[in-house]
Amino acid sequence: NARDSRSNFPSVSEALSPQFIKPMSLPAAALAWLGLQTIFTLTQAKAECQAKDDSYLLQVQLVPRKRQTHIGVAVDLGPSHEHILEYIVMLHSSWQHVVSHDDKNESNALVDLLVSCEDCRRLPLECLSMVDSDQRLIPYVPSHRCLYTENKDPDIDYFKKMQHPAMLSVSFLTLEPMKSMVSRYDWILRSDEDAFISPRILSWRPPHGMVFGYAGVQTEWTNARLENISRELGLEHRRVHNICSGWFVPSNLAVELAVLATNVSKHLLENEYGQRADTGYMADKVKLGGLEWWKEDNQGGEWPKWWRGVTSLYASNIAINHLVKDLTSDMVTNDIDFSTTDHGSVWDHVHFHVIQGNHGFNKFRFFEEVEQRDAATSVGMDMPSFMGHLEAMDDELVADWQSNASLAAIYADVPKYATWIASRSMSGAASVFMAEPETIAQGEYSIEGPRAPDDSDSNPTWYKAVSREDAARVILVEEPAA
């Protein structure tokens, strides 16, 4: 029993003794025997757990060693409806597609989504809590799963006060139960929610044991500054730069990177910019100097030279350069964080990031349609027409790109894949809301309760379509009698 104190932890001989087995029911005794057949014996588990004073890790050590490679795609969701929409139609939808095409080859990896969320009410119903009612990690299962936990980071208010809540997309890996859940996996892909994974993730393994996404947005001034700050903090820097937000690393390293990056980010926000969000202008007080160009009315800095809005990238750069002893530029690749604005084969990449740009798959143009903005062809549509519009969008893409039930044309181009995945997700939600029970008189759909987590009535109609949870709350309002 993982909840027993360590002093009461039974030895193997004790576990097999009549005194230990007799009070148990037959199913319980059978489970106890099966537990002894795992690769980790109880005595091994006891020794390892004593070395790691952590009740969560105690549970982890008792699961059988897995046969297949297991990858965790870890992501933190902000509370806004746009964050949740991005996750559902991009990352979650692409994961559904990928795991549905797993041919069960034992060389394929299992892929789980590990979701941290400030407001978890809008997650798809297939996502399961990482912990049970007693706050213990749920058992390991060798299959593809979506698992979530609420983000209760004590630094949430701090990072929001410092105007950099994006740092929560890194710090969540340092918190329980996520921290212990991560240790069950071979690799962790740290991702933003506005991203897609490709089927390549099933068979691909990172060269050099890990890779980091390529950003290409830093200047020589930026690089020199990061190296100087590293020295100031007593950290090593291996002069590897242009690292994006994605990491594909061994699970233990993912947590170490997150811990150091979180600490470094606080130093940056408090000491290294010309404006400190909570106290104001401080360019003349920065220890390293060199910020004469940062004027008092400048809030964020100068892009791409030195920009407070990408503190999480700077902090990750410093942490990766310090902790990865054999780090080289060969580990910074386009295998992950490849931009959906750029063309290329889906099979050349594992993970795509939706960054700003005016070509390829642009999430802002996509949102214009989904949110029915003034420039969209969907503006002014009522709910049934809008849902039909989404379904037609998917039908047109399939007719144009998918011939003879082949995905070859879609896989040939990253923007096509991203658009197809996102529109399929929206049209799939549309099909739920368009379904009208034959036994109910014709009327119009409405949603009971708030239309969005912020209880605002001004949110566009797309929000009704993004969560399977809402499908159970859709009601048909009968038209008033004449």
Tokens of 18: 């009549």
* 121-125, 203-207, 311-315, 340-344: least confidently modelled range: 121-125
Burial code (b: 16+ CB inside 10 Å, e: under 16) for 30-49 equals eebeebeeeebebeebbeeb
| Ordered strands of the 195-197 beta sheet | 195-197, 351-353, 338-339
Structure letter (DSSP) for residue 319: H
pLDDT at 8 over 80: no
3-state secondary structure 71-135: EEEEEEECCCHHHHHHHHHHHHHHHHHHHHCCCCCCCCCEEEEEEEECCCCCCCCCEEECECCCC
* Residue matched to tokens 């202008």: 281
Q: What is the mean pLDDT of the chain?
A: 77
CB 222 within 8 A of CB 304: yes
Q: Is 331 exposed, middle or buried (0-12, 13-18, 19+ CB in 10 A)?
A: buried
pLDDT of the residue at 394: 61
C-alpha pair distances (Å), 347 with each of 102, 202, 411: 15, 11, 7
Burial code (b: 16+ CB inside 10 Å, e: under 16) for 310-325 equals bbbbbbbbbbbbbbbe
Which amino acid, 113? L
Residue 128: beta bridge partners?
Answer: 147
The pLDDT tens digits for 292-322 are 999 999 999 999 999 999 999 999 999 999 9
* 106-120, 191-205, 262-276, 350-364: least confidently modelled range: 350-364
The pLDDT tens digits for 334-353 are 999 999 989 999 999 999 99
The pLDDT tens digits for 399-450 are 665 554 567 888 998 988 998 888 777 766 555 444 433 333 333 333 333 3
CB 165 within 8 A of CB 193: no
CB 215 within 8 A of CB 307: no
The pLDDT tens digits for 220-267 are 999 999 999 999 999 999 999 999 889 999 999 999 999 999 999 999
Cα(286)–Cα(234) distance, integer angstroms: 17
Cα(463)–Cα(370) distance, integer angstroms: 9
pLDDT band for position 123 (50/70/90)?
Answer: confident
pLDDT at 102 over 80: yes
Cα(465)–Cα(393) distance, integer angstroms: 15
Paired sense of beta strands 474-478 and 443-447, if any: antiparallel
Over range 365-391, report the average pLDDT: 73
- pTM of the predicted structure, to 2 decimals: 0.77
Report the 10 Å Cβ neighbour count for 85: 25
pLDDT at 31 over 70: no
Between 478 and 191, name the one with better pLDDT: 191
pLDDT of the residue at 456: 43
Over range 47-57, report the average pLDDT: 37
Sign of the dihedral defined by the CA atoms of residues 372, 374, 378, 379, in that order:
positive
pLDDT of the residue at 45: 34
